[in-house]
């Protein structure tokens, strides 16, 4: 009997890429591959790329260069590039790295079996189309193996907002929402395979709209699934944070009290230049509504400093907004140019000034995060235990507020929600004792 070939997938970027890698693995293993964790003796290496960070394409070319030794040692090795860098670069990838056999954009993963057949025939395969058919209808599913207690489920892709700094509309396309009944069926399947928590994903997830179902309605129906204990969603845009979704945070018990709602800047001038379609006051009003129905909600956000034309007064407005919100967690970045976006040709803020602002913002945000972590000490939290921790005898799981929580516990409790009394806080995690 012929031994199966070996597939290695390296995933970059967000949770949606993690989900996409799982589904690509399903598609490729259906053609006779087994998934492996190292590239050393793989028969196919696939890089699932992200284009959000600075110089993303150059980093992928550098990574491909490191795989040349594998190609030299095994000439039959197939190398593919998938995801947003593949969409943005297309044929240029093969031009710059001729050892690449396959380039596939994020909307064409369902065509991977046909592309692999072409590669096996000695040809290169490139597909960066935005096909009419829904890729999720055509992607095969793997065998019904047990899953980790927490899983991602993509419900929406693409974005129509066209923020001036963002490449997503160009690499992922316009907003498309998956049919609700198919999502409910997939959620039930995940629960049958051991999943207790589902994180609904989308580039602009709260813009979900399919068959007249909003994201709020989808969450309410998903909450009726027996065995599904927790629901989360990410990432949202303030312009699509409707009252029905806000209300769901107050009356859907399974919807966790954590919301990632990026604002990017506290300055109305910069928000307008970013084409964010909301003001700082609009954003704060949304947060007031959410806190009114769920006072304990933990908030996280994204910030860009040094955006073109940002002055010190604009940056001060960002600091003031952060002081008002006091994020439980936040991500902050220095603006970097994305070719092809509206902001790409605008004058840059001096690098030293941008670096200084980033350090000042991160110091403030870190202080707020530490305050939130410390506020958990002494509390008893329901924690979904997910996997062994690095320390022997410990397990790690997630609190309702998405914090990692470590405790001494037996592996038989993985997949269970247990009560843990928090005894110590750290910057990115909590430590506690299992309450019997």
Q: For 390-414, write each residue's pLDDT tens digit.
A: 888 999 999 999 999 999 999 999 9
pLDDT at 428 over 60: yes
CATH of the domain at 384: 2.40.50.140
137 part of a folded domain: no
Q: Are residues 256 and 286 in the same domain?
A: yes
Total tally of structural domains belonging to the chain: 3
Q: Are residues 178 and 120 in the same domain?
A: no
368 part of a folded domain: yes
pLDDT (0 to 100) of residue 315: 98
Of residues 57 and 98, the one with the higher pLDDT is: 98
CA-nearest of 99, 95, 96 to 80 is: 99
pLDDT (0 to 100) of residue 52: 64
132 part of a folded domain: no
138 part of a folded domain: no
Query: Which of 88-102, 186-200, 264-278, 372-386 is the least confident region?
Result: 88-102
* Interatomic CA distance for residues 215 and 17, integer angstroms: 21
pLDDT (0 to 100) of residue 131: 56
Q: For 251-261, write each residue's pLDDT tens digit.
A: 999 999 999 99
Give the pLDDT mean for 97-120.
87
CATH of the domain at 56: 3.40.50.12160
Q: Are residues 311 and 427 in the same domain?
A: no
Q: Which structure tokens are listed for 267? A: 């300055």
231 part of a folded domain: yes
pLDDT (0 to 100) of residue 340: 85
pLDDT at 184 over 60: yes
Q: Are residues 330 and 419 in the same domain?
A: no
Q: Are residues 45 and 85 in the same domain?
A: yes
Q: Which of 99, 127, 155 is the last residue of a domain?
A: 127
pLDDT (0 to 100) of residue 255: 98
Q: Which of 341, 374, 407 is the last residue of a domain?
A: 374
Q: Are residues 358 and 285 in the same domain?
A: yes
Q: Are residues 82 and 197 in the same domain?
A: no
Q: Are residues 293 and 394 in the same domain?
A: no
Given a contact cutoff of 8 angstroms between Cβ atoms, the answer to whether 321 and 284 are in contact is yes
CATH of the domain at 323: 3.80.30.20
* Interatomic CA distance for residues 328 and 365, integer angstroms: 8
pLDDT (0 to 100) of residue 143: 55
Q: Which of 68, 93, 127 is the last residue of a domain?
A: 127
134 part of a folded domain: no
Q: Are residues 264 and 407 in the same domain?
A: no
Res. 85 pLDDT band, cuts 50 70 90: confident
Res. 50 pLDDT band, cuts 50 70 90: confident
For residue 252, the enclosing domain spans: 145-374
154 part of a folded domain: yes
Res. 277 pLDDT band, cuts 50 70 90: very high
Of residues 148 and 244, the one with the higher pLDDT is: 244
Q: Are residues 406 and 268 in the same domain?
A: no
Number of C-beta neighbours around residue 315 at 10 A:
25
* Interatomic CA distance for residues 28 and 35, integer angstroms: 9
136 part of a folded domain: no
Q: Are residues 51 and 87 in the same domain?
A: yes
Q: Are residues 61 and 196 in the same domain?
A: no
């Amino acid at each position: 009997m012929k031994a199966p070939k070996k597939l290695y997938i390296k995933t970059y970027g967000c949770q949606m890429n993690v989900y996409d890698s799982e589904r690509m693995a399903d598609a490729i293993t259906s053609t006779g591959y087994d998934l492996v964790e190292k590239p050393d003796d793989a028969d196919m290496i696939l890089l699932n790329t992200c284009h959000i960070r600075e110089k993303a394409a150059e980093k992928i070319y550098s990574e491909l260069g490191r795989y040349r030794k594998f190609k030299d040692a095994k000439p039959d090795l197939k190398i593919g590039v998938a995801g947003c860098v593949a969409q943005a670069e297309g044929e240029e990838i093969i031009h710059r790295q001729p050892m690449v056999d396959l380039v596939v954009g994020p909307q064409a993963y369902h065509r991977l079996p046909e592309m692999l057949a072409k590669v096996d025939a000695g040809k290169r395969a490139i597909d960066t189309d935005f096909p009419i058919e829904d890729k999720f209808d055509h992607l095969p599913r793997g065998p019904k193996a047990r899953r980790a207690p927490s899983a991602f489920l993509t419900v929406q892709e693409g974005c129509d907002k066209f923020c001036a700094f963002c490449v997503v509309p160009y690499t992922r396309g316009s907003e498309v929402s998956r049919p609700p009944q198919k999502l409910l069926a997939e959620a039930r399947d995940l629960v049958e395979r051991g999943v207790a928590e589902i994180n609904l994903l989308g580039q602009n997830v709260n813009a979900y709209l399919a068959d007249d179902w909003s994201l709020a309605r989808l969450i309410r129906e998903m909450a009726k699934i027996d065995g599904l204990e927790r629901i989360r969603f990410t990432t949202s845009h303030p312009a699509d944070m409707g009252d029905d979704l806000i209300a769901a945070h107050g009356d859907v018990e399974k919807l966790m009290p954590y919301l990632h709602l990026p604002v990017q800047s506290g300055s109305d001038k910069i928000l307008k230049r970013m084409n964010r379609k909301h003001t700082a006051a609009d954003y704060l009003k949304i947060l007031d509504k959410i806190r009114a129905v769920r006072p304990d909600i933990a908030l996280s956000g994204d910030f860009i400093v040094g955006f073109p034309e940002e002055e010190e007064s604009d940056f001060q407005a960002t600091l003031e907004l952060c002081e008002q919100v006091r994020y439980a967690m936040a991500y902050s970045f220095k603006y970097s140019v994305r070719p092809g976006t509206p902001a790409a040709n605008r004058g840059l803020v001096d690098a030293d000034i941008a670096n200084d602002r980033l350090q000042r913002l991160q110091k403030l945000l870190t202080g707020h995060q530490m305050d939130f972590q410390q506020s958990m000490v002494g509390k008893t939290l329901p924690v979904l235990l997910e996997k062994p921790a690095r320390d022997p005898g410990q397990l790690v799981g997630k609190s309702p507020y998405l914090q990692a929580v470590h405790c001494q516990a037996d592996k038989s409790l993985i997949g269970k929600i247990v009560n843990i009394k928090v005894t110590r806080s750290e910057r990115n995690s909590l430590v506690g004792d299992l309450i019997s």
